[in-house]
């Protein structure tokens, strides 16, 4: 099959990355169709909806490069499969990763299905990751731009999904993508990158969350001394290892969130960098996804959060959809976040962190 | 191959009309000017008005040219509501947005009744009679629905309204090419039309205001149109409107025959091809230029994209600013939101052929089969 006979549906967000993605594929001779996904109705009190502005940019770029463009509404799917999960995790005191879920359920499921229904051979996005297709063999590799690599968020993609995916930006550095956008004079060439979780946007996270979940203020306790350090605004607002926004300080260095007790509604804090209370040596994870089959036990490296340096780990498959991952020592490993496994540049897969242990002892308030 | 089946959204400008516009472009004078050039413009404009009036059995004085039917509908509704002290006004739940949203905007200044419709998309006369009271000043009815082609029982509506003090406002935008329009037999006080649905350019509409009808004007800044609409008259477009109305009038019978065959062909081809579908409303109460179909096996958002990629240009619901489909409130009023999300409007013009209908049915069949093969149905 030549590129000319290959239809690629590009998920266009109205940002510079997906704009360049579409243009690169077009130049490679593919039959390119741009589709904008509307996942969230974010019309603010002034009637401004960023989706409208973003779609306008999709239109401009599509007209500039000469591809058909469409729009698809996944507000319901997003609400049911991503936003509900996001709220549920916070209710459990965990720190969810909606971007991982959005990739798994929306961009590479609902959207992929939509594209396949429209006769696409592949979908492409502007993610910084690489995917290789060699017959039956499918691999995902880190994007070459270390700073932008997005494989952490793509860890739940299965081999089947990846076999239908192209990431044309994976071999580029972000500045090169900007340069290309300028070279092609795309309407989005100087558009600011979006930051944060898509449905929260530039809004204050606390205010946003409080409109969906009742905030339940409680006490903040020094885990070591038992000392009451004042009030907290609600456990859901804090994540393990968090330093900012506690409103406490004093001699002995900054305070960090070290745990939550959902029963007593207490927030545990500790003082000082790299505090022992935050350290763990292993974790249990579920929602396991291996892109290719793996042995029962293996060694590799792992990321416990986005942009963290890789940590050498030993992985043991302990049951159906259950991993035990051990390592020397890591700080602030957080339930609800993803653990992503790598073999060099190759992504092995990922899972969701459920339980964190130190020397085989469950750190029960690390939730 | 590309097939446009969205003539209810808009129509291309007729070549003869375009030519006549160019031929008359030199009559550029401002009808309000005292000089000869202005008078020439005035005469040109009044000729259009006279012709348009005759075609709907009205007096020239009763015709106001507007920028669009949307503007004309706004003039009626806002003009009546502001003329009276908190009047009661009645409309249906299946109006075009220009009436529906204007009624909604009036809710602060008027008591508003929205009449429900049955599965055919028609209102019940009993409902209308029950809703009418001494305080009712306006009843707005879409004569032919823009999404389903449903024709409202105009004669019974006329009777019911004539027994009250209310004024009758008929939105005849989709009706004019399909049905004989007489302001007399409709017994209406207001009637609105749009040029671009009749192969005239966009930017011209018409409002009939029955003689001696009082309403406030919404546009000020000149005494044009007998102080009913300020603004320099759009002489050339009024000419186009008038020609388009004449054309539609002359070709109505022939047009009806072709459209009837097209509609029947599309339906029978889809049945032959065994594409699951249902007709929204009943063809017995519809014009021939629209058929609205419910496809239970997919969404209109998907189908519109898939058809566009296959060169078939139809519609379903309206587009939000982010390009996604907002389900039709008309289908919702007749059935349900889910059905509205799965319905497509095909609207025809006599430029289309029965082969085009076969092509559409075949494409829909192939889309349906592919989804089934892929396991999406």
Give the DSSP letter string of B95-115: --HHHHHHHHHGGGTSEEEEE
What residues in B contact A113, CB-CB < 8 Å? 376
Q: Do A38 and B301 touch (CB under 8 A)?
A: no
- Measured CA to CA, the distance from residue A140 to residue A342 in angstroms comes to 10
Of A51, A70, A116, the CB nearest to B374: A116
Domain boundaries, chain B: 3-9+252-373, 15-247
Of A33, A38, A68, the CB nearest to B324: A38
For CATH 3.40.50.620, the residue range(s) in chain A are 3-183
Tell me the nearest-neighbour CA distance from B198 into chain A, angstroms: 29
Residue B316 CB neighbour total at 10 angstroms: 27
Q: What whole-number percentage of chain B has pLDDT above 70?
A: 100
The residue in chain B having the minimum alpha-carbon distance to the alpha carbon of residue A34 is B305
For the domain made up of B15-247, give the CATH fold.
3.40.640
Residue A48's pLDDT is 64
- Measured CA to CA, the distance from residue B347 to residue B7 in angstroms comes to 5
Identify the residue whose tokens are 């994007």.
Answer: A143
Query: Alpha carbon of A9 to those of A6, A25, A30, A126, A192: distances in Å?
Result: 10, 10, 10, 12, 24
Q: Is A116 in the B-facing interface, judged by CB distances under 8 Å?
A: yes
Low-confidence ranges of chain A (pLDDT < 50): none
In tens, the pLDDT along B86-119 reads: 999 999 999 999 999 999 999 999 999 999 999 9
Q: Is B212 in the A-facing interface, judged by CB distances under 8 Å?
A: no
Coil, helix or strand for A280?
A: strand
In tens, the pLDDT along B157-205 reads: 999 999 999 999 999 999 999 999 999 999 999 999 999 999 999 999 9
Q: Where are the beta strands (DSSP E) in B93-188?
A: 111-115, 136-142, 167-171
Of A33, A72, A118, the CB nearest to B324: A72
What residues in B contact A72, CB-CB < 8 Å? 301-302, 305, 324
Q: Is B377 in the A-facing interface, judged by CB distances under 8 Å?
A: no
Global pTM? 0.92
Q: Do A119 and B374 touch (CB under 8 A)?
A: no
What residues in B contact A36, CB-CB < 8 Å? 322-323
Radius of gyration of chain A (CA): 22
Residue B333's pLDDT is 96
Q: What is the CATH number of domain A214-271?
A: 2.30.30.280
Residue B9's pLDDT is 96
CATH number of B3-9+252-373, picked from 3.90.1310.10, 3.90.1150.10, 3.50.50.60, 3.40.50.970? 3.90.1150.10
B144 DSSP β-pair partners: B151
Q: How far is CA B279 from the centre of its chain?
A: 20
**Mean pLDDT, rounded, for B261-272:** 98
- Contact (CB, 8 A) for B68 and B308: no
Tell me the nearest-neighbour CA distance from B311 into chain A, angstroms: 12
**Mean pLDDT, rounded, for B256-269:** 98
- Measured CA to CA, the distance from residue B242 to residue B295 in angstroms comes to 39
Triad A297, A300, A303: Cα angle to 5°: 120
Catalytically active residues of A, by annotation: 102, 198
ipTM: 0.89
Q: Is B163 in the A-facing interface, judged by CB distances under 8 Å?
A: no
- Measured CA to CA, the distance from residue A334 to residue A107 in angstroms comes to 25
Catalytically active residues of B, by annotation: 320
**Mean pLDDT, rounded, for B1-25:** 97
Tell me the nearest-neighbour CA distance from A118 into chain B, angstroms: 6
Token pair recorded at residue B207? 């409002």
Residue A367's pLDDT is 55
Estimate the crossing angle of helix B235-272 against helix B36-55, to 10 degrees: 30
**Mean pLDDT, rounded, for B66-70:** 98
Estimate the crossing angle of helix B235-272 against helix B15-23, to 10 degrees: 170
- Of B332, B325, B346, B335, give the one whose Cα is nearest residue B275: B346
- Of A195, A207, A339, give the one whose Cα is nearest residue A280: A339
Q: What is the CATH number of domain A278-362?
A: 2.40.30.10
Q: Do A49 and B321 touch (CB under 8 A)?
A: yes
- Contact (CB, 8 A) for A152 and A122: no
Q: Is B306 in the A-facing interface, judged by CB distances under 8 Å?
A: yes
- Measured CA to CA, the distance from residue A289 to residue B259 in angstroms comes to 56
In tens, the pLDDT along B38-50 reads: 999 999 999 999 9
CATH superfamily of A3-183: HUPs (3.40.50.620)
B297 pLDDT above the threshold of 80: yes
For CATH 2.30.30.280, the residue range(s) in chain A are 214-271
């Amino acid at each position: 099959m030549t590129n000319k006979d290959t239809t690629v549906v590009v998920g266009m967000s109205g940002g510079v990355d997906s704009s360049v993605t579409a243009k690169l594929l077009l130049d490679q001779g593919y039959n390119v169709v741009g589709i904008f996904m509307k996942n969230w109705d974010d019309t603010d009190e002034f009637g401004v909806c960023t989706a409208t502005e973003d779609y306008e940019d999709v239109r401009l770029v599509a007209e500039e490069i000469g591809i058909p463009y469409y729009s698809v509404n996944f507000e319901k799917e997003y609400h049911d499969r991503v936003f509900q999960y996001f709220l549920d995790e916070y209710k459990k005191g965990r720190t969810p990763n909606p971007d991982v879920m959005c990739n798994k359920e929306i961009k590479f499921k609902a959207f992929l299905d939509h594209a396949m229904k429209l006769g696409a051979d592949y979908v492409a996005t502007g993610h910084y990751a690489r995917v290789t297709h060699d017959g039956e063999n499918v691999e995902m590799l880190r994007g070459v731009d270390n700073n932008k690599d997005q494989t952490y968020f793509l860890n739940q993609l299965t081999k089947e999904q990846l076999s239908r995916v192209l990431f044309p930006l994976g071999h580029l550095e972000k500045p090169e993508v900007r340069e290309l956008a300028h070279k092609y004079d795309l309407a989005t060439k100087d558009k600011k990158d979006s930051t944060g979780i898509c449905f929260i946007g530039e809004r204050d996270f606390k205010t946003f969350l409080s409109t969906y979940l009742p905030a339940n203020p409680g006490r903040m306790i020094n885990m070591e001394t038992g000392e009451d350090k004042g009030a907290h605004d609600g456990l859901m607002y804090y994540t393990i290892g968090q330093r900012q926004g506690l409103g406490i300080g004093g001699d002995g260095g900054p305070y960090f969130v070290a745990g939550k007790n959902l029963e007593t509604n207490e927030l545990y804090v500790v003082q000082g960098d790299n505090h022992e209370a935050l350290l763990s040596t292993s974790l249990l994870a579920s929602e396991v996804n291996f892109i290719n089959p793996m042995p029962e036990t293996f060694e590799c490296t792992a990321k416990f959060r986005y942009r963290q340096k890789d940590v050498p780990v030993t992985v043991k498959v302990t049951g159906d959809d259950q991993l035990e991952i051990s390592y020397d020592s890591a700080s602030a490993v957080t339930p609800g976040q993803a653990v992503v496994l790598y073999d060099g540049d190759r992504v092995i897969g990922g899972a969701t962190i459920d339980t964190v242990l130190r020397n085989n002892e469950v750190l029960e308030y690390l939730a | 191959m590309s097939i446009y089946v969205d003539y209810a959204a808009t129509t291309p400008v007729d070549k003869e009309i375009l030519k006549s516009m160019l031929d008359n472009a030199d009559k550029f004078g401002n009808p309000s000017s005292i000089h000869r050039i202005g008078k020439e413009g005035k005469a040109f404009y009044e000729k259009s008005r006279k012709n348009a009036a005759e075609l709907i059995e009205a007096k020239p004085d009763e015709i106001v040219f507007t920028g669009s039917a949307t503007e004309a509908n706004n003039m009626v509704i806002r003009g009546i509501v502001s003329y009276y002290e908190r009047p009661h006004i009645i409309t249906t739940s299946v109006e075009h947005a220009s009436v529906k949203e204007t009624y909604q905007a009036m809710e602060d200044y008027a008591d508003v009744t929205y009449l429900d419709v049955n599965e055919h998309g028609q209102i019940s006369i009993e409902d209308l009679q029950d809703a009418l009271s001494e305080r009712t000043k306006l009843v707005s009815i879409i004569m032919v629905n823009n999404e389903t082609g449903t024709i409202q029982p105009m004669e019974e509506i006329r009777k019911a309204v004539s027994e009250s003090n209310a004024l009758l406002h008929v939105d005849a935008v989709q009706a004019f090419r399909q049905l004989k329009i007489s302001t007399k037999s409709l017994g209406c006080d207001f009637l609105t039309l749009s040029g671009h649905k009749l192969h005239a350019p966009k930017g011209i509409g018409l409002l009939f205001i029955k003689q001696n009808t009082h309403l406030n004007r919404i546009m000020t800044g000149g005494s044009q149109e007998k102080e009913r609409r300020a603004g320099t008259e759009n002489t050339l477009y009024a000419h186009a409107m008038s020609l388009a109305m004449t054309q539609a009038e002359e070709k109505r019978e022939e047009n009806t025959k072709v459209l009837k065959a097209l509609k029947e062909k599309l339906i029978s081809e889809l049945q032959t091809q065994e594409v699951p579908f249902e007709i929204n409303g009943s063809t017995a109460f519809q014009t021939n230029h629209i058929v609205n179909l419910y496809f239970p096996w997919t969404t209109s958002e998907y189908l519109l994209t898939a058809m566009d990629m296959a060169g078939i240009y139809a519609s379903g619901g309206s587009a939000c600013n982010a390009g996604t489909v907002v389900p039709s409130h008309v289908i919702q009023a007749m059935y349900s939101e889910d059905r509205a999300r799965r319905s497509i409007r095909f609207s025809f013009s006599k430029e289309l052929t029965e082969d085009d209908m076969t092509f559409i049915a075949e494409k829909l069949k192939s889309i349906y089969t592919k989804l089934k093969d892929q396991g999406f149905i």
